[in-house]
């Protein structure tokens, strides 16, 4: 298993850069991962989605886009505004979860 240093912490990642141990995640890591994804600042709307995903994925399994929209109360369009070009995949990476099922 590969590792990556983020914010001075060594975390386990897979070949696509998704964390494999959700327990290693913290909010500082999320901020750095967001920057890597081109998101300069995490707003309260971003954190609402991230917290939803973290709270509903205790096994490290990321929710699908449909689960995120129904659970967070945000539309698909709003999610694409927050996490452009693949919101389910980006939020999973930022939230320290595995790749969502069905994502290419």
Catalytic residues: 103
Torsion of CA 95, 97, 98, 99, to 10 degrees: -30
CB atoms within 10 A of CB 10: 10
- The DSSP line for 51-77 is HHHHHT-TTSPPPPHHHHHHHH---HH
What backbone torsions phi and psi does residue 36 show, to the nearest 5 degrees? -65, -30
């Amino acid at each position: 298993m590969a590792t990556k240093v983020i914010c001075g912490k060594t975390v386990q990642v897979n070949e696509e850069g998704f964390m494999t141990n959700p327990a290693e995640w913290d909010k500082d890591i999320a901020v750095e991962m967001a920057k890597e994804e081109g998101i300069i600042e995490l707003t309260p709307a971003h954190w609402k989605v991230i917290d939803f995903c973290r709270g509903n994925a205790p096994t490290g399994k990321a929710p699908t886009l449909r689960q995120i929209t129904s659970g967070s109360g945000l539309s698909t369009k709003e999610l694409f505004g927050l996490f452009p070009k693949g919101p389910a995949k980006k939020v999973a990476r930022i939230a320290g979860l595995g790749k969502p099922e069905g994502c290419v």
